[in-house]
Structure 1
Amino acid sequence: MIQAGVFDKAMGSAQFLPDVVERQMNQSEFVLPIWEYLDIAASEERVRNGRTALRKRRELFIEIERRFGVEPEVVAAIWGLESGYGVNRGSVPILSALATLAWRGSRQAFFEDELVAALRILQSGHTTPEKMVGSWAGAMGHGQFMPSSFLNFAVDFDGDGRKNIWSNDPTDAVASIANYLSKHGWRRGQPWGYEVSLPEGFDYALVGMDQAHGALFWDDRGVRTVTGDRLPDYGVGSILLPAGARGVAVMLLRNAHALLRYNNAEAYVLGVGVLADRIGGHKGLVQPWPFDDRVLTRSEVREAQELLSDLGYSTQGVDGMRGPNTGRAVRAFQTDEGLVPDGYLSGTVLDLLREKGGAA
């Protein structure tokens, strides 16, 4: 229950923000190729700044790892991707943004719940309405927590009685990132994933997050590390082809699922993973990308989903997003057409769908 005084003080200055509605309704039509996204996510500058951040706050990150069991470079990578190590935390009034989206947005019930969560944060005294700022979508602080995530996973690591993820001091915020991963099953000492090489004749029906198998299973099917060695045994893993069979192949492990709970996008997992590896002194991905591939716009993905469904390959909805349902539909279509069934929705696949759809 939100107290009347808290509500009146918090919402008394809240305003409708038309720019927020416009940004939600008009998100970019164009999608970066995965290789360009990773160039940005794990840029030399971001790697360098991450290493500097770890050196500057070495004792803090050591204590965070001891308490939560999450490696410093992983926490730093999320911090770096979410806010540029605290430089870009956002300046939009969170209460106004959430109230706007709860009234006029496309996910009103979700943002209404987040608004109530934000009021609960204020009622608990962790910050003030004036200091509660962040992104237009309601994400806050160094780690860009939504209010509900704050209530569930934020920690008071410096012991001052407040869980202050908005402060210039990142102590509570980076500890909260580690707590979030820990609560979602992160295992210290295991990687998020690693790059692999697939053999000729590989069964691409085995690709995807719904295909999780142990190292011996993959070993029997000829999967190797990029150096040609047998796979290390870190438990079950799934193979991801972020740019299809012509691009990089990655084995995602248990810790990748913890990263997916932070941001449910495979590209984000790769961004955090590669950045963390590079901050820790390791190489990034080494296999070539298909730079000649045409990456589809959101409208083209929606068109492909409609064509697939019309041809009998259901994508379970049309949203312009490359999810697992779309991947399965694409793979079934590719199999029937004698293509490499990697489940990757490329320009070539869209052209063939248009041809088949026009003839249907």
Structure 2
Amino acid sequence: MPKRSERICMLNQEKLKKINPETLKLYHKYLLDMKIRELSEKTIYNYYNDLANWWIYIYDYQDNKSVKEIDDSDISEFIVYCKDQGNNTNRIKRRMSSISAFFLFLKKKRLIDENPMSFIDRPKEGQAVVAQTFLTTQQIQFMREKLQENVEKAKEQRKTKPTQYYEALTMQAYAIFSLTTMARINAIANIRWEQLDFDSRVAKDVLEKEGYLVELFFSEEAKEYLLNLKQYRTENNIEDGGYVFVSAHRKSGSCTPATVSTLSDYCKKIGQMIGVPTLHPHDFRHSGATAYKNAGMSLEEVSVLLNHKSTDVTRRFYIKEDKSKLQANKDKCNI
């Protein structure tokens, strides 16, 4: 028989009393809805158990935010945590379903605009749960090469396929900007040109989680690709409404910022280019953090760039240590 995965039992009655009050109020509405639909007590208990474990994770590691402030990257961190604790695919799929059902109820009641679970791919039968991908230095370089190759190929065909060239420029700018700023996808989606200081390579007053305004620091390479994108739009009279990344270009009328879905699609295409089909937007954040840390930046510096409140979250979820360096340093001890 297959080995049964261990249960993650984080239920702590004292912590449950301290869960964000808005979260608890929303769950009470959900509980009433489940009772009206005559769900069995066992089913309701299973939903509650999954959700309560998730809430305690939010309490411990994500500042006890309301579930209305949670995004797909927050949920991905919880899923990876469950996986690291030994939960198998089926158990994690059940937790994902419980969380999604809760968000679907909130969306149906118009209490939230979108279900963040819709941006997380569900594992199919026999597939592993989506895990965090930490691109290696070699994979990052390969991604750079493939993105440039994609731009050059599309440029040759731009007279007959102008949309493909525009998309290639956009994907290149998005990938390198996302990697080097390590920003969350929602922050990147809403950045405007007026916020970018190209001289200092800083994006100013960027709205992050919980309403915080932060600064993002991008590389010279990202600067080059952003300016290329801006120049192309100017030369081709493409209206972007002032946003750096848009869902679709229009030659007239208003424009909206890129949706999470649009940027996620870019990420999937990039993943296919480099042989990492599970690549998703938050992986740029993990990969950038690990790359900078392994290149010599301190944990504290990387944590600041990620806009984390403490280094604990950075260390636990965003850094994959370079074990080759660890082995080399160990050998120097000559023991």
TM superposition score normalised by structure 1: 0.28
Structure-2-length-normalised TM-score: 0.29
Q: Which has the higher contact order (CA 8 A, sep 6+)?
A: 1
Q: Whose helix proportion is higher, 1 or 2?
A: 2
